[in-house]
Structure 1
Amino acid sequence: GKPLFLKYQREAYFGSNLHRYLYFNGYNTVGLADFSFEIDDDGVPYWVVTKYAKKVGFSGNDATGVVVVNAQNGAIKEYTIKNTPLWIDRIQPISFIIDQLNDWGEYVKGYWNFSNENKLQITEDLTLVYGKNNKSYWYTGITSVGKDESAVGFVLVDTRTKETTFYKQSGATEFAAQSSAQGKVQEKGFQASLPIPYNINNIPTYVMTLKDNGGLVKMYAMVSIADYTIVGTGNTMREALTAYKTAFNSSGNKINSSEKSARKVVESVVVRIQNDVKNGNSFYYFTVKDYPNIFVGSSQISNQLPITAVGDMVKISFDLDSEEIIDVSTFENISIKK
């Protein structure tokens, strides 16, 4: 692409300083916050600045719209929240959402609540995540006041409209999950990123990266929200997922096999089978006749896997996906029972 000259910036001098430029263009008495840099669908760079008003006396900052400044020619446009262009992701400043979530948890039973009954608080700073249709959200966990290791759920806040959804899910906080993941590879000294919750085989799970001292991603980790002692790590996301399913099964739980909507059951003959040891765990890779994918499972899935041989008739179930290597959910060697 062609080079871009960005005249208006936050740290520029004199009239090119973004704050000063807005001040002298009619915004000297307007509340402005969260100067974020975004690019529109045509690749044109803009500064998106939240316009806000105080809704509770001299406090209670609340976003009312945005001021958009072309970073090249200084053209200014102003929008309400409702008519803001779709290419703008962030309208709601993170500091506003933190304050409002904390106020919501603090005054859940009103102002006079000296016993802290049912009080809630956020577990960590907010993280920007993306959901369906590339919509962006502020994410954070919610915990009861005084219960540092236990979460009661998490919230997703639409970064444009401030529409908020509270998901009730008791379990470990992000901090507890981070500590558990770091403890799994403590000899390496890696630091865990802020976890994001995912639904993996109907199991609420924290997913995070593990980074070295230089900030480079070295491994991946998955931790059960319900029980943060169930951890899976790997050098790739695939390895972490396989290790996580193994850890989940070995803990006495079983990967949910009741979900039928995206599950396939196959009965076929084993064509090839080989075991592989990764991070101290044995995994069995095998292929079956008339099916192109490679399957993988551990003895935690079935104690029949280690004694399965080429030519055995097996019955397996797995979740449908586009991966070349598929984790089996259940495994049964039919030949052994004959």
Structure 2
Amino acid sequence: MITIKFPKKKNLQNKFYLLQSKKSQWISLGITLIFMLIAFYIFIPAIHVKNFSFWLFLLATVVGYVLVNGIICAIHRERPNLKPAIIMMAGLVGIMLLGTVAGLRIWHAKRYASILKIEEGDKKDIPSVEGASSIALMDTASAEKLGDRKIGSLTDVVSQFNVGPYTQIDYQSSPTKVAALQYEGFFKWWGNHKEGVPGYVKVNPVTMAADYVPLKEKMRYVPSAYFNDDLSRRIRFRFPTVMFENLHFEIDEQGNPWYVATTYDHTISLFGGKKVTGAILVNPITGDMKQLGLKDIPQWMDVVFHGDLLMKQYNDAVQLHKGFWNSIFGQKDCRQTTTVKVKDDDGDSSYKADYGYVAKNGDIWVFTGVTSVNGDSSNIGFMMANERTGKTRFIMASGADEGSAMHSAEGEVQEKGYHASFPSLINVDGTPTYIMVLKDNSGLVKQYACVNVEQYNLVVTASNQKDVIDRYRRLMKGEITADEAKKSGESQIDTSKFVDKTIQVKKLEKIDIGGNTHLYILDTEGKIYQAKYADVLKMLSVKEGDKITIQTDGKNYLIK
């Protein structure tokens, strides 16, 4: 008997997945497309080959397709075809790496150095003391406290809104900080978005006055809104290929609200050499907007070239002009903008770049000191840059840097514990001078200080801007001595309520500040007292453990 054996069917599904079907491919593509549109709506990258985020978005889309396709194939028990996706991912990663490496400063040092054009300036470019009202002495932190206090008094506003970021502008020939109100979270937006944001805060950094400005027509399209009311999203849908940043609030000379975004391009390789090309101007009430070139920027608009970018481009210009390796090793003719020592909330210290503002001819200029790259405490000169036009000047004027001036001013009022804000620069009868405010621990402005740039041990303090300038001018003219200037500042303290208090000295310490020796006393209660040694010479005989008598009102004190 002949037995015929038929070959058994190979159960391929027990060994391998079947090859991926076209149906699974289309399903995977469809799901990926949906997720891609959702991701684009959320992250709104500019659709531009020179936008790194756009390539990252494409890479994330391909990775998403691989994950979705893997799940779909597993459900259908099919084997995914990953070769095309892997090739695409490798290509995208390659473009991103090549574009990044090709744009490094090591290859294009002089091109980076030439992005910002720097003109030679003169001491006459430093704002005159006669126009001291144009100096924006108040820092943003102080403006925030004043603005919050003003809004806190408006019960119908404070419960739904808070104050957004401040912008330093020139408003009707006066430096002014402005900030629009913003929604305090999603639910506050949901409950108010049909009406919109009702107004903005205006702070005068010279008079220290804050005002709330209500609007007849409220702002609907703002950065703190959600969905299609989000201002960045609205700009992106109107200009899908334009790269923009620095979205901020401004007002025109009539007090009308506007939002401004800086547009830019990359001029070196794909992702290097950022260069400002113009701005996008948005009416937050109607949502109307238009793109402007640099030549079309209106006079009232103040911030197109923001300060951080100008500082970075200036450092490139003064460090890379003789090549990349010279900026690292030889450092011949290399400079940098000054940095100041700051403390964070944890008490840790770090150095950061900072700059001041001045209103000049209807524009806002940022300025900061310029020092050598060796990190010493002296300035070679100062740089000033126009935030509307980008015009930049270097002014030769040697002297102490801003950090040294701040410490010197703080040393004059050490017993009060005041902290100096970043100073502004003025020309007092031909003498470059730092002027700054001194704040208490709550951030409120308490005094003003003038510090000579060349001799930073020449310091004058007073309770208002006019008095501190008057006393400083008298000091420079030789009408009063440094000690007399200090005593005239002390006369602002009302001593009529002072009473005698006996303290026991736990520790004595002498510290030199700005060429003057200061005496610090720690008592057994942990309180610290300070005075110039020259003013309390009788303390020479005091030792640790002795008891001394001071006069105090509980806040201020005098050591006799």
Q: Any idea what the Cα deviations from partners look like across 1:97-118, whole Å, max 9, x if unmatched?
A: 1220111122132222112222
Deviation at 1:247, TM superposition (A): 4.5
Which structure features the higher share of strand residues?
1
Match of 1:231 in 2: 459
Greater RCO, CA 8 A, separation 6+: 2
Q: Equivalents in 1 of 2:254, 2:478: separation in Å? A: 51
Q: Equivalents in 2 of 1:222, 1:198: separation in Å? A: 10
* Distance 1:253-1:161 versus aligned 2 partners, 3 A rule: farther
Count of equivalent residues: 258
The 5-angstrom pairing of residues 116-155 of structure 1 reads 116-123=331-338, 124-131=353-360, 133-155=361-383
From 219, 227, 249, the equivalent of 1:37 is 249
What amino acid is the match of 1:279? G
* Distance 1:41-1:241 versus aligned 2 partners, 3 A rule: closer
Match of 2:140 in 1: none
Q: Indicate the SS of the match to 1:104.
A: helix
Deviation at 1:243, TM superposition (A): 3.5
Q: Equivalents in 2 of 1:48, 1:136: separation in Å? A: 15
Match of 1:172 in 2: 400
Q: Equivalents in 2 of 1:241, 1:41: separation in Å? A: 29
What amino acid is the match of 1:136? I
Asked whether the 8 Å contact 2:409–2:451 carries over to 1, the reply is yes
The 5-angstrom pairing of residues 202-221 of structure 1 reads 202-221=430-449
* Residue 279, structure 1, aligned to residue 476, structure 2: no
* Distance 1:252-1:73 versus aligned 2 partners, 3 A rule: closer
* Distance 1:12-1:97 versus aligned 2 partners, 3 A rule: same
Asked whether the 8 Å contact 2:409–2:449 carries over to 1, the reply is yes
* Distance 1:22-1:280 versus aligned 2 partners, 3 A rule: closer
**Cα RMSD, aligned residues only:** 2.3
Match of 2:305 in 1: 92
Deviation at 1:251, TM superposition (A): 12
Asked whether the 8 Å contact 2:357–2:424 carries over to 1, the reply is no
* Distance 1:158-1:144 versus aligned 2 partners, 3 A rule: same
Deviation at 1:246, TM superposition (A): 5.0
From 262, 274, 298, the equivalent of 1:50 is 262
Q: Any idea what the Cα deviations from partners look like across 1:303-337, whole Å, max 9, x if unmatched?
A: xxxxxxxxxxxxxxxxxxxxxxxxxxxxxxxxxxx
What amino acid is the match of 1:92? F
Quick check: 173-182 or 90-99, which moved more? 90-99
Q: Equivalents in 2 of 1:237, 1:127: separation in Å? A: 17
Query: Which has the greater radius of gyration?
Result: 2
The answer for unaligned runs of 5 or more in structure 2 is 1-213, 339-352, 493-560
Query: Percent of aligned positions with the same letter in both sequences?
Result: 36
Q: Equivalents in 2 of 1:21, 1:100: separation in Å? A: 30
Q: Equivalents in 1 of 2:395, 2:480: separation in Å? A: 26
Deviation at 1:216, TM superposition (A): 1.2
From 263, 269, 274, the equivalent of 1:61 is 274
Q: Equivalents in 2 of 1:252, 1:216: separation in Å? A: 30
Match of 1:181 in 2: 409
Match of 1:190 in 2: 418
Q: Any idea what the Cα deviations from partners look like across 1:31-82, whole Å, max 9, x if unmatched?
A: 1011111122343311110110012221211110111111011001111011
TM-score of the pair, normalised by structure 2 = 0.44
Q: Equivalents in 2 of 1:191, 1:230: separation in Å? A: 18
Deviation at 1:148, TM superposition (A): 2.6
Match of 2:330 in 1: 115
Q: Indicate the SS of the match to 1:87.
A: coil
TM-score of the pair, normalised by structure 1 = 0.71
Q: Equivalents in 1 of 2:239, 2:430: separation in Å? A: 53
